[in-house]
Structure 1
Amino acid sequence: KNIAVLEVDEATIRHITPYIEPKLFVFTNIFRDQMDRFGEIYTTYQLMLDGAAFAPSATILANGDAPIFNSVDTPNPREYFGFNNAEDSEMMAHYNTDGVLCPHCQSILHYKSITYSNLGKYYCPKCDFKRPELNYAVTALNELSLTGSSFDIDGTSFSIPIAGLYNIYNALAAYSAAKFFGLSTEEIQEGFSKAQRVFGRQETFDVEDKEVMLNLIKNPVGFNQIVQLLSYEKEPFSLGVLLNDNPADGQDVSWIWDGDFEGLHALNAIDTAISGIRVEDLGVRMEVAGFENMKVFKTNAELIDWIRKAPTKKVNVLATYTALLDLRKDFAKEGYLKEGMNG
């Protein structure tokens, strides 16, 4: 049978659901993102639930490691996926982590394990709120590298040619949805092996003799995961960072102060360039993090020329959405990649 998979904006679900009959809603995560548009994460979640309420018989398949997805009752049946790969120990999330208050009694949540940010095996020390039982789980992390990840889901080994814990969550969500619709483990393994890097998500290509990797940044949690990803890089690299504040980027760029630029500074970058509409704000943040002697460019042409002349073979570029879009167009004009969202 044919199955349509639609990626829908959180605020748009309620406008689409009345016209279709979904069988499954997949909720992966909610972090502070485009706060000038959505407000806080609980507002975003309510928009999602408003949309799901138009199809109360459809199952909500949610990330069980995210406390927000277990915070309110829903008319929809629910299933959960998450990580069950670590031994239990006592821990708490970083003090600047959002979404770690118990929705029942407002106490600070504790954890038996944390994957990143507020995701993990949470529980409230003051009441009975805790992570729900998982229907699908990552049971082992076998290898994490800059080129891919190997892991077990429900005791079976899988690999994806894409790096990062956040992409293992994406793979787990895909596995869970596939199992919901009756696909076999072998079919899922084959699908994972064909996964491709797309627009701004570890997208790699050559600029002359330089190997360039593009990564989209747009909120603190995503930025920190890119920093974690780049920590797998063993060779020295050159670093470009671009910050815009167009509507598609989110016009409030204060999120950069919650991003781990200090962790980025601790990596192997030996030459750094910055650009974008909000380059002055970006420069201040990076100076505070310890960066020195940054090159500041006003145009993509200057940035691309810097990449050609970079002192390292590898160049990592982090950019907000519209900055990345414009930069890709200029790379395409120079013949370094094809236009379009999939390179």
Structure 2
Amino acid sequence: MTLDIRGFAAQSATTPLAPHAFVRRDPRPTDVVIDILYCGVCHSDIHQARNEWKNSIYPMVPGHEIIGRVSSVGANVSKFKVGDMVGVGCMVDSCQHCDACNEGLEQYCREGAVWTYNGIDRRDQMPTFGGYSERIVVDDKFVVRIADSLDAKAAAPLLCAGITTYSPLKYWKVGKGSKVAVIGLGGLGHMGLKFAKAMGADVTLFTRTPDKEAEARRLGADHVVLSTDEAQMKAVTRQFDFILDTVPSPHDLNPYLATLAMNGTLCLVGLLEPIEPAVAAANVVMGRRSISGSAIGGIAETQEMLDYCAKHGIVSDIEMIDIQDINGAYERMLKSDVRYRFVIDIASLKKAS
């Protein structure tokens, strides 16, 4: 049966999100139907809702940090049962046969992953709609389990902000003895600090804001460097093995590259736009340094990350909002006025007119 759903949607790049009724696809034998409880608010939701990446499909129901309970499962589903607490992140499908998918890296699928919203279902060509809604239908391969020990609402941002920072730290083998820096203290940056500290690294925060030191140390930073202070930047020249750059807007990489040790790596996880100003090649050549990038993580690694969080008691710092407050939340996010991730209480949909 077709599922009629309530949610909030953007109807165009210039209109605010508002109540919207829509139809989800019929559940298939491998599908899990999830009653959504919480949905995190990601900066990419703003980019997409306002067509800043020039690929938006309207009407659009954003949201890809989804926590909910299973309400039904298809005949071929054995991993999940009714009542399970589960999560859905940025993807709901991929080709599942290319080299990337075979390695468990569905986010890099050669045929293109199907995104949780602003995508097109590869089987029936219906648009995908995200977690700013009461229910979602997802193939069981793209559903992850949420441990009972995790605070479900604070776990929601782990489905994007969490895996986006965990995956590169694991790939570049951050651990005891590593000297790691995180650029930016927002939704991604605060998770980067938590994970790097839990992995045993010596952790530094780069920030442009002088008053963030106490907060950064609470989240796991051992040191705080004011990136606008030339003396402080010079003092950390050639120090870091790995830098996690979480800033979502174009910025000068050159001062940070100078702080990398020989063979060090700066990894971009927040920026999709062109790098401006240009990188001076000497900053990478003279020291065999690398600039890299990383996007979320595969499904198996996302489950690994969630299990790691359950073991180490790691969740996001969140501010709960009603869905009726989403447009104001977007404006506050653009001013960095959130510590550190908004999460929508989907029960508030019942208040929508």
TM range (shorter): 0.3 to 0.5
Q: RCO greater where, 1 or 2, for CA within 8 Å and sep 6 or more?
A: 2
TM-score, normalised via structure 1 length: 0.36
TM-score, normalised via structure 2 length: 0.35
